[in-house]
Chains A and B, each alone.
Chain A
Amino acid sequence: MAEAPDSPIAARASERLIAHFWMVLGVIVVAFPVYYVFIASTHTTQTILRPPLPLIPGPEAAANYRDAFSGGVSRIGGVSLWRLLANTTIVALGIALGKIAISMASAYAIVFFRFPLRMVCFWLIFITLMLPVEVRIQPTYKVMVDLGLIDTYPGLILPLIASATATLLFRQFFMTIPDELLEAARVDGAGPWRFFRDILWPLSLTNVAAIFVIQFIYGWTQYLWPLLVTNSNEMNTIVIALKKMISFADADTPWNLVMVTSVLAILPPILVVVLMQRWFVKGLVETEK
């Protein structure tokens, strides 16, 4: 909340000016790398390789982006930009929606039912909070090989779909639903399905949106896992493809197309975050505490 300007603890005008200065500086530092790659994507490779890069967009934007989409990226990465974007979208959506579905279901079971071993199940799920994929990559990879999931969408999605975070969040939220609401619904004749559809789901929408944003980003930005389970270029996500383009860099690397790919790898999640900012911030700050 902003103070009234005459409040004793509100900043004086001069201090506010200084604060603005620091914020502008902060924003420049934070936004500059993204801006830089965007600028680079609008110049020719020759310009990019002859620093300093101009600080304003160049004339090649249309040409670069057209080329990138119509086969330019396939030439260097062996797979089309469309395919990369589709792969990444499928993975990010699969992870986000999958997580929401299975964690809502399990949180619903844990909060609104009583059954033997309920707390055991809760702890089984809860403990997985502590096991990020990075600490168990090798054996998890082996499971994927055994299940024949290498180079498949399920292979990219499934191991990342079950994390305790979303389940805990939904559980936390469901516990704030007053008992009386469930009781009123039961007196009104609602069973588990109707209660979920008519009452719990509409009330959860904000939380669903928040989790969606967080998990979409999580899915889109995955690195280690897609790196391991995709051998074929066809199944790469855009992040992995970009890394491959750079590591095989030689004198002929069309840097302008690499920059275009970078922009397209960054843009969708940034759009999601900025457009769904309200839910995202709420979800992030409220749920992770």
Chain B
Amino acid sequence: MARILLNDVRKSYSGNQVIHGISIDIPDGEFVVIVGPSGCGKSTLLRMVAGLEAITSGTLEIGGKVVNDLEPRERDIAMVFQNYALYPHMSVRENMAYGLKIAKMPKDQIEAQVAKAARMLELEPYLDRKPRALSGGQRQRVAMGRALVREPSAFLLDEPLSNLDAKLRVQMRLQIKEMHLRTGQTTLYVTHDQVEAMTLADRLIVMNKGVAEQIATPLEVYQTPATEFVAGFIGSPAMNIFTVEAEAGGVTLPGGHRLPLSGLPAGSLRLGLRPEHLNLAETGQPAIPVDLRSVERLGADAFGYGVIAGSDAAMTLRLPGTTQAQRGDRVDVAPDPQHLHVFDPTDGRRLENF
């Protein structure tokens, strides 16, 4: 078990920088999720920690030791791959034991380790099967087991659940969480799925285009997204973000509607409102009129998709499941003043002091 320290870690491919200076101090035992859209560099970052990609500059410490130039096996890490990367010609047992065998662990100890991991992952009946005779979920567990038996100081997972169907994904998510609680291993987990990110992480690294947009706990990321990108990426349905003109006493929305929001810096701003923080306006309350273009009813909730009346600024609303609203209706909604997000229109940074 170990602390992982990234200090201004960068990566370039032939002069083209893909990871732009990422720093984070991950204390022993923390579960950190790296989340972002595809191509944001999240897997590259994880593979740099694993030693599968060279680090162009900056330092990486695992367990108090700079490991920039060490081979993967010398870093004392274990990794779970998206497609599991099980050795197709080896049985489940051999797959799990392979790393230990290379490390020259005594046979009986290997046996014990494999048995322990197999028990934890409920793989005991399958130990002598080849990977091709296993279901997707079982393969995934073997991949986990192969990492577990090593008892590494850090556990790296690269989109481990993305090849599973939705139901299994939920199950495995819970299992991974439980396993982390049990072993207390420092874990780095890459995903593009925000539900996985939010539910698993002690802390999130939200990445975009090779930059860590925000490093914080899931709740902080949700409540105070540091940039417009984070605001739009985390939360489902996504936050409504549009450009407003602020002056003393209020803001002008797209379509010319005015809202009496005070204390905002004057000028052009990006205003973010989460669908769940827009309530149906009571009569007389200052409101945003929304023309609905479609309504999706999910039972408990209904989502209304439309535009701010008189503009083409998209708005998503979260409505009660019993709503009668339908396509073509105009709905007036009022923002919850406790949950306003304001971003600088030029650099997308969150503006806090208003």
Interface residues of A (CB under 8 A from B): 178, 180-181, 183-190, 194, 198-199, 202-203
In the complex, which residues of chain B have a beta carbon less than 8 angstroms from the beta carbon of A180?
A: 81-85
Contact A189 B99 (CB under 8 A): yes
Q: Which residues of the partner chain B approach A190 to less than 8 Å between Cβ atoms? A: 73, 98, 102
Which residues in chain B, 88-135, are within 8 Å of chain A measured between CB atoms? 88-89, 98-99, 102-103
- Are B102 and A183 within 8 A (Cβ)? no
B74's nearest neighbour on chain A, judged by CB, is: A189
A194 to B104, CA, bound (A): 13
Q: Which of chain A's residues have a CB closer than 8 A to the CB of B146?
A: 184, 188
Say yes or no: A189 contacts B83, CB within 8 Å: no
Closest 8 CB pairs of A and B: A189-B73, A180-B85, A188-B99, A184-B85, A189-B102, A180-B81, A202-B89, A187-B72
- Bound-state CA distance A199–B102 (Å) is 13
Contact of B79 among A187, A194, A202, A203 (CB under 8 A): A187
Q: What is the interface of chain B mostly: helix, strand, loop, or mixed?
A: loop
Q: Does A178 contact B73, Cβ atoms closer than 8 Å?
A: no
Q: Is the CB of B87 within 8 A of A178?
A: no
- Interchain CB contact under 8 A, A183 and B79: yes
| Tally of A-B Cβ pairs under 8 angstroms | 59
Given contacts A178-B85, A180-B82, contact A188 B98 (CB under 8 A): yes
Q: Which residues of chain B from 299 to 327 have any CB-CB distance to chain A below 8 Å in the complex?
A: none
A194 to chain B, nearest CB (A): 6
Contact of A203 among B78, B81, B89 (CB under 8 A): B89
- CB nearest neighbor in A for B152: A187
Chain B neighbourhood of A189, CB < 8 A: 72-73, 99, 102-103
**C-alpha gap A186/B50 in the complex (Å):** 10
User: What are 21 contact pairs spanning A and B, CB under 8 A?
Assistant: A178-B83, A181-B87, A183-B47, A183-B72, A183-B81, A184-B79, A184-B85, A185-B87, A185-B98, A186-B52, A186-B71, A186-B73, A187-B51, A187-B73, A188-B73, A188-B99, A188-B102, A188-B146, A199-B87, A199-B89, A203-B88
Q: Does B295 have its Cβ within 8 Å of any Cβ on chain A?
A: no
Contacts of A199 in B (CB 8 A): 87, 89
Which residues of the other chain, B, contact A202 by a CB distance below 8 angstroms?
Answer: 89
Q: Does B77 contact A (CB under 8 A)?
A: yes
B83 touches A187 (CB 8 A): no
Q: Which residue of A lies closest to B50 (CB)?
A: A187
User: Whose C-beta in chain B lies nearest to the C-beta of A199?
Assistant: B87
Query: Across the interface, which residues of B come within 8 angstroms of A188, CB to CB?
Result: 73, 98-99, 102, 146
Complex: how many Å from CA A187 to CA B47? Answer: 11
Q: Contacts A189-B73, A199-B87, A203-B88 hold; do A184 and B81 have CB atoms under 8 A apart? A: yes
In the complex, what distance in Å separates the CA atom of A189 from the CA atom of B51?
A: 12
Residues of the B chain whose Cβ atoms lie less than 8 Å from the Cβ of A185 = 87, 98
Q: Which of A183, A184, A186, A187 makes the CB contact (< 8 A) with B87?
A: A184
Q: How near does chain A come to B276, taking the closest CB pair, in angstroms?
A: 39
Report chain B residues within 8 Å CB of A186: 51-52, 71-73
> With a CB–CB cut-off of 8 A, which chain A residues contact B87?
181, 184-185, 198-199
Closest to B147 in A: A187
Question: Complex formed: what's the CA distance from A202 to B84 in Å?
Answer: 19
Contact residues in B for A187 (Cβ distance below 8 Å): 50-52, 72-73, 77-79, 99
Residue of A185, A188, A194, A199 with most chain B CB atoms under a 10 A cut-off: A188
